[in-house]
Amino acid sequence: MYLRITGMGPIARRYFVKNGFDGSMTMLGIIVGSWVVGVARAEIVVTAGLGACLAMGISGLFGAYMTERAERKRDLKNLENAMMTKLDDSVITDASSFVSFYAAIVDGGSPILTAIISLLPFILSLNGLIAVESAYIPSFIVTLVTLFVLGMYLGKIAKENALLYGIQTLLAGIITVAIALLLGAV
């Protein structure tokens, strides 16, 4: 009900996809960079990846909370002025407070989720299930698949060709890998 009252549903979807994309692309850069320089310890890749995406997550958490809270307070004050009454203890006030937290969780959680997906092969390596050298290719693949799925989701939201959207986000990942490899060859 709060999402409907505030119109937060579409905003939360944007936060989720945008920051999931950012998390995946960040991980792609870390994984390619680690591969290029020959990192042979899974804990280095996992720590760097989680550190980067944790920073993105905390930034998203606080940034989204503070931004949404400010926007919602302004909207609430404008509504109170238009209605010439205070809306304390109303469902609108409760909805505004709730969606600030909701936006923060979605915005902050998305890059962490996509980072963990990308790091799964390295987490398996940490647990001795696969060699670190064998974790790179599966990590590239799951990260590119994550980008593709995020793109397909956008296509579905747009009610357009989901496959085309998926290919576009996949191409962004492939371009990132190619540029990182070129930079590593210099």
More reliable by pLDDT, 135 or 100: 135
- Does position 153 have pLDDT exceeding 70, yes or no? yes
DSSP code for 130? S
Q: What is the total count of domains within the chain?
A: 1
> Where would I find the H helices in 84-135?
91-126
- Domain residue limits at 22: 2-185
Q: What is the structure's pLDDT at 120? A: 97
pLDDT at residue 9 in the model: 86
105 φ, ψ (degrees, to nearest 5): -65, -45
Mean local confidence (pLDDT), 81-99:
87
Neighbour count for residue 88 (Cβ, 10 Å): 8
Mean pLDDT of 99-124: 94
Contacts of 176-183 with CB under 8 Å at 24 or more apart are 176/25, 176/28, 176/29, 176/32, 177/28, 177/32, 177/140, 180/28, 180/29, 180/32, 180/33, 180/36, 181/32, 181/36, 183/36
| Percentage, residues of the chain above pLDDT 70 | 99
The pLDDT of residue 186 is above 70: no
Say which residue, 93 or 109, is predicted with more confidence. 109
